Amino acid sequence: MIDFHHPQFKHYAPNDLQGVADDLRQFIIDRVSQQGGHFAANLGVIELTVALHYFLNLPQDHLIWDVGHQAYAHKILSDRKDRFFSNRKMGGISGFPKRLESEYDAFGVGHSSTSISAALGMAEGRRIKNDSRRIVAVIGDGALTAGQAYEALNHLAHLQSPVLVVVNDNQISIDPTVGITLSAAFFESLGLNYLGPMDGHSIPEILDSLKIWDENYSDRPLVLHLKTTKGKGFLPAEQEQTRWHAPGKFDKITGTLAPKSTTDLPTFQQVFGKTMVELAEKFPHLVSITPAMTSGSNLLEFQEKFPDRFFDTGITEQHAVTFAAGLATQGIRPVLAIYSTFLQRGYDQLIHDVALQQLPVIFAIDRAGLVGEDGPTHHGVFDIAALNAIPNMILAAPSDGLELRNLLFSALQWDQPVAIRYPRSRIPAEIPTVANFQSLPLGKARRIQTGTSGVAVLVYGAFLASVLHAISSLESEVTVIDMRFAKPLDDVLLEEVSKEAPIWVTVEDGTLNGGFGSIVQQWVSNRGKMNQVFTLGVPDQFIEHGKLEELHQLLGLDTEGFSRYFKQLFGENDESDLNLME
Domain residue ranges in the chain = 6-239, 268-421, 446-569
103 carries an active-site annotation: no
pTM above 0.85, yes or no: yes
Look at residue 241 in the predicted model and tell me its pLDDT. 85
Per-residue pLDDT 10s for the chain (582 aa) are: 455 555 567 788 888 899 999 999 999 999 999 999 998 999 999 999 999 999 999 999 999 999 999 999 999 999 999 999 999 999 999 999 999 999 999 999 999 999 999 999 999 999 999 888 899 999 998 899 899 999 999 999 999 999 999 999 988 767 777 777 788 988 999 999 999 899 999 999 999 999 999 999 989 999 999 999 998 988 888 888 888 888 889 888 888 888 876 678 999 999 999 999 999 999 999 999 999 999 999 999 999 999 999 999 999 999 999 999 999 999 999 999 999 999 999 999 999 999 999 999 999 999 999 999 999 999 999 999 999 999 999 999 999 999 999 999 999 999 999 999 999 999 999 998 777 999 999 999 999 999 999 999 999 999 999 999 999 988 889 999 999 999 999 999 999 999 999 999 999 999 999 999 999 999 999 999 999 999 999 999 999 999 999 999 999 999 999 999 999 998 877 544 444 434
121 contacts 113 by C-beta, under 8 angstroms: no
Torsion sign, CA atoms 301, 303, 304, 308: positive
Top-tier CATH class for 446-569:
alpha beta
Fold of the CATH domain 6-239: Rossmann fold (3.40.50)
Longest dimension (CA), the chain: 80
CB 289 within 8 A of CB 311: yes
Q: Is 317 a catalytic residue?
A: yes
- Fold held by 268-421: Rossmann fold (3.40.50)
| pLDDT at position 258 | 86
Domains 6-239 and 446-569 equal at CATH topology level: yes
Active site annotation includes 549:
no
Spatial distance between the Cα atoms of 582 and 580, rounded to a whole number of angstroms:
6
Measured distance CA(65)–CA(138) in Å, rounded: 5
Q: Collapse the DSSP code of 414 into the 3-class scheme (helix H, G, I; strand E, B; otherwise coil) and give the result.
A: coil
Name the β-bridge partners of 420: 364, 396
Coil, strand or helix: which one is 207?
helix
Q: Which of 25, 31, 80, 230 is catalytic?
A: 230
List the catalytic residue out of 88, 227, 345, 405.
345
Please name the residues in contact with 153: beta carbons below 8 A apart, sequence gap of 6 or more.
116, 165, 187, 190, 192
Q: How far from 289 is each of 32, 172, 298, 476, CA to CA, in Å?
A: 32, 18, 12, 47
- Using alpha carbons, list the distances in angstroms from residue 412 to 21, 154, 391: 53, 40, 19
DSSP notation for 474-488: -SS--EEEE--EEES
Q: What are phi and psi of 182, to 5 degrees?
A: -70, 140
47, 317, 373, 508: the catalytic one is 317
